[in-house]
């Protein structure tokens, strides 16, 4: 069966998505200074869903009405929004935004591994297996062996970010398997709607009623990561998924980390530990091996002999 590849158009969309998501980490960190993680995720899913409903109604797109599809939306909303958004919001309270983005890059490793298990056209070849191994080594280096032997808030925050990456990896394959036949804007709307509905009771239970008397900078952060980095970005997400496949889609996280690290350094004055950069370098190498394009350029082609 033919393997999924990335077209030039899909690469352009991946770059755009990388820039959008690269700026979301500092926005999340800004918001959680005033609101709790659950409240920040409720804002993120609710306003993004509202935006997409406006798009769906304006374009007169038909939303599914069967329980099976909405059940698939709910699973996708949990895997791609509720769980990872909450884990990342918790992580940004205790970690540098650049470090959070590095752990988020492990999404590609999990995505390729899970897609290989689920789909015949994204099977785990020897090259991909090597890439996955290097990627996991990068995660361990970035976290640090000493942090694996203790459980403080910083260690838990790092584990939370890795857990979010695993959820994202699962979500990519679930979306392709159960939602790939739907129009991208319809799929994104259904996913975010169910995610927002799930976040309402969770937020009320853990953090109480939602406050709206927030500082302007907090509303600005919420507006960016909900409207632009969630609602708008997921329209790109499903478009890329259809073009490039679940495993290739996860490569966007390789683009996100350098942008987030640069923003964190310039805006917040963050300085990461050398092992964090070493871990990301390993992750980047692993993802480059997974993609295979750089290796194909470095490998000389055999000339046909007469």
Q: What is the pLDDT at residue 1? A: 43
On whether residue 303 sits in a domain, the answer given is no
Of the two residues 222 and 263, the one the predictor is more confident about is 222
Mean pLDDT of 143-168: 85
Mean pLDDT of 122-150: 84
pLDDT > 90? residue 252: no
On whether residue 125 sits in a domain, the answer given is yes
Mean pLDDT of 145-153: 71
**Per-residue tokens: 257:** 């980390």
| Residue 183, CB-side half-sphere exposure with 13 Å CA sphere | 12
Torsion angle (degrees, nearest 10) of CA 106, 110, 115, 118? -170
Q: What is the pLDDT at residue 305? A: 44
Distance from first CA to last CA of the chain, Å, rounded?
31
pLDDT > 90? residue 152: no
Q: Measuring CA to CA, which residue among 87, 106, 107, 102 is closest to residue 38?
A: 87
| Overall number of domains in the chain | 1
Q: What is the pLDDT at residue 128? A: 86
On whether residue 250 sits in a domain, the answer given is yes
Mean pLDDT of 6-22: 81
Q: What is the pLDDT at residue 172? A: 87
pLDDT > 50? residue 16: yes
pLDDT band at residue 159 under the 50/70/90 scheme: very high
- What's the burial of 183, exposed, middle or buried (CB within 10 Å: 0-12/13-18/19+)? middle
On whether residue 238 sits in a domain, the answer given is yes
Greatest CA span in the chain, whole angstroms?
Answer: 78
Q: What is the pLDDT at residue 253? A: 67
Radius of gyration (C-alpha) of the chain in whole angstroms: 19
Task: Tell me how far apart the alpha carbons of residues 154 and 1 are, in angstroms, rounded to a whole number.
Answer: 44
Task: Tell me how far apart the alpha carbons of residues 255 and 233 are, in angstroms, rounded to a whole number.
Answer: 14
Range of the domain at 279: 8-298
Q: What is the pLDDT at residue 165? A: 94
pTM greater than 0.85 (yes/no): yes
CA separation, residue 116 to residues 248, 259, 273 (Å): 11, 28, 33
Task: Tell me how far apart the alpha carbons of residues 16 and 12 are, in angstroms, rounded to a whole number.
Answer: 6
Instruction: Write out pLDDT tens, residues 239-248.
Output: 776 776 655 6
How far, in whole angstroms, is CA 85 from its chain's centroid?
9
On whether residue 2 sits in a domain, the answer given is no
Of the two residues 35 and 233, the one the predictor is more confident about is 35
Q: Measuring CA to CA, which residue among 190, 284, 187 is closest to residue 237?
A: 187
Whose structure tokens read 């406050």? 211
On whether residue 97 sits in a domain, the answer given is yes
Of the two residues 216 and 237, the one the predictor is more confident about is 216
Q: What is the pLDDT at residue 247? A: 57
Task: Tell me how far apart the alpha carbons of residues 99 and 105 are, in angstroms, rounded to a whole number.
Answer: 10
Q: Measuring CA to CA, which residue among 49, 51, 101, 81 is closest to residue 174?
A: 81
Q: Measuring CA to CA, which residue among 76, 90, 103 is closest to residue 41?
A: 90
Q: What is the pLDDT at residue 108? A: 81
Of the two residues 105 and 301, the one the predictor is more confident about is 105
Task: Tell me how far apart the alpha carbons of residues 240 and 302 are, in angstroms, rounded to a whole number.
Answer: 33
Of the two residues 113 and 9, the one the predictor is more confident about is 113
On whether residue 188 sits in a domain, the answer given is yes
Task: Tell me how far apart the alpha carbons of residues 95 and 270 are, in angstroms, rounded to a whole number.
Answer: 10
Mean pLDDT of 224-241: 85
Mean pLDDT of 182-202: 95
Whose structure tokens read 């009623």? 209
For the chain, helix (H) and strand (E) counts, in that order, are 17, 0
Torsion angle (degrees, nearest 10) of CA 128, 133, 135, 136? 140
On whether residue 294 sits in a domain, the answer given is yes
Q: 41-50, 61-70, 229-238: which range is least confident on average?
A: 229-238
Task: Tell me how far apart the alpha carbons of residues 13 and 126 are, in angstroms, rounded to a whole number.
Answer: 28
Task: Tell me how far apart the alpha carbons of residues 126 and 119 are, in angstroms, rounded to a whole number.
Answer: 16
pLDDT > 70? residue 220: yes
Q: 159-163, 201-205, 292-296: which range is least confident on average?
A: 292-296
- What's the burial of 68, exposed, middle or buried (CB within 10 Å: 0-12/13-18/19+)? exposed
Instruction: Write out pLDDT tens, residues 80-91.
Output: 999 999 999 999
Mean pLDDT of 37-56: 97
pLDDT band at residue 256 under the 50/70/90 scheme: confident
């Amino acid at each position: 069966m033919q393997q999924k590849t990335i077209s030039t158009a899909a690469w352009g969309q991946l770059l755009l998505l990388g820039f959008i998501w690269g700026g979301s980490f500092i926005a999340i960190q800004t918001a959680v200074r005033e609101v709790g993680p659950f409240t920040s995720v409720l804002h993120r899913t609710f306003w993004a869903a509202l935006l997409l409903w406006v798009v769906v109604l304006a374009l007169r797109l038909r939303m599914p009405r069967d329980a099976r599809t909405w059940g698939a939306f709910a699973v996708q909303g949990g895997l791609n929004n509720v769980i990872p958004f909450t884990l990342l919001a918790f992580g940004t309270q205790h970690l540098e935004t650049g470090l959070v983005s590095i752990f988020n890059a492990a999404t590609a490793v999990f995505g390729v591994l899970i897609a290989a298990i689920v789909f015949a056209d994204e099977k785990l070849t020897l090259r991909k297996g090597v890439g996955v191994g290097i990627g996991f080594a990068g995660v361990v280096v970035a976290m640090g062996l000493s942090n694996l032997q203790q459980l403080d808030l910083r260690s838990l925050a790092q584990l939370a970010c890795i857990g979010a990456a695993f959820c994202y990896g699962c979500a990519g394959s679930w979306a392709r398997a159960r939602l790939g036949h739907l129009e991208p804007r319809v799929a994104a709307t259904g996913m975010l709607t169910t995610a927002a509905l799930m976040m309402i009771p969770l937020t009320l239970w853990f953090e109480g009623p939602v406050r709206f008397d927030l500082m302007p900078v907090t509303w600005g952060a919420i507006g960016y990561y909900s409207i632009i980095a969630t609602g708008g970005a997921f329209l790109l997400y499903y478009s890329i998924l259809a073009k490039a496949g679940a495993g290739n889609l996860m490569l966007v996280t390789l683009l996100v980390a350098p942008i987030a690290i640069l923003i964190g350094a310039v805006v917040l004055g963050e300085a990461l530990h050398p092992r964090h950069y070493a871990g990301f370098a390993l992750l980047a190498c692993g993802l480059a091996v997974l993609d295979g394009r750089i290796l194909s350029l470095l490998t000389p082609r055999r000339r046909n002999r007469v």
